[in-house]
């Protein structure tokens, strides 16, 4: 009979379980920093925009659902640092106008990295914001227009 303390299979199982728990703890700790951001929304139309937040260990996605196609929102961090990457995902059929403001700097649509895509929820536009763009700001503001009327 083998000693459980020297059995190579038991040692590998314990090592795997230990590593898995350490990884889960690390991911949970990183994610909680991203989740310390509070945000509020304001719409320019009577139909308010809905914003949902999804975060990973290194980035956050603010998904904007705007029935009117025109809106304005702000995101304010409670404390801590902004994540490495912030993405504003606009659920729109088109994106003709977008303005991003942070710490007295204004960026227009042609100054930002914007990617479009389609998934099971429909068409979207991802506005990718690097932390360096607004790291000293407590709040960021953005507005969007799907089609100019």
Do residues 100 and 49 share a domain?
Answer: yes
Do residues 63 and 100 share a domain?
Answer: yes
Instruction: Supply the pLDDT for residue 29.
Output: 26
Do residues 60 and 106 share a domain?
Answer: yes
Do residues 74 and 125 share a domain?
Answer: yes
Instruction: Supply the pLDDT for residue 116.
Output: 97
- Which structural domain, as residue segments, surrounds residue 4? 1-34
Do residues 103 and 136 share a domain?
Answer: yes
Do residues 16 and 47 share a domain?
Answer: no
- 63 near 127, Cβ under 8 Å? no
Residue 55: Cβ within 10 Å count:
19
**What is the C-alpha separation between 95 and 87, in angstroms, rounded?**
15
Residue 37: Cβ within 10 Å count:
20
Average pLDDT, 10 consecutive residues per value, the chain (149 residues): 56 47 31 50 68 84 91 82 89 96 93 96 95 88 86
Domains held by the chain: number:
2
Instruction: Supply the pLDDT for residue 15.
Output: 47
Q: For the domain that residue 59 is a member of, what is the CATH number?
A: 2.60.40
Do residues 13 and 73 share a domain?
Answer: no
**What is the C-alpha separation between 32 and 139, in angstroms, rounded?**
19
Instruction: Supply the pLDDT for residue 91.
Output: 96
Do residues 115 and 132 share a domain?
Answer: yes
Do residues 52 and 111 share a domain?
Answer: yes
Do residues 60 and 111 share a domain?
Answer: yes
Do residues 4 and 24 share a domain?
Answer: yes
Instruction: Supply the pLDDT for residue 143.
Output: 93
Instruction: Supply the pLDDT for residue 136.
Output: 86
Do residues 86 and 27 share a domain?
Answer: no
């Amino acid at each position: 009979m083998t000693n459980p303390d020297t059995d190579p299979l038991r040692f590998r199982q314990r090592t795997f379980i230990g590593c898995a728990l350490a990884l889960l703890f690390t991911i949970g700790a990183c994610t909680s920093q991203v989740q310390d951001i509070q945000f509020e929304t304001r719409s320019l139309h009577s139909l308010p925009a809905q914003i949902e937040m999804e975060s990973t260990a290194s980035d956050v996605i603010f998904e904007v659902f705007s029935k009117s196609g025109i809106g304005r929102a702000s995101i304010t961090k409670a404390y801590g640092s902004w994540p490495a990457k912030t993405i504003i995902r606009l659920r729109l059929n088109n994106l003709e106008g977008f303005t991003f403001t942070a710490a007295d700097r204004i960026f227009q649509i042609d100054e930002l990295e914007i990617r479009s895509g389609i998934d099971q929820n429909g068409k979207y536009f991802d506005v990718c914001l690097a932390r360096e763009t607004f790291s000293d700001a407590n709040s960021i503001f953005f507005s969007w227009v799907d089609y100019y009327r």
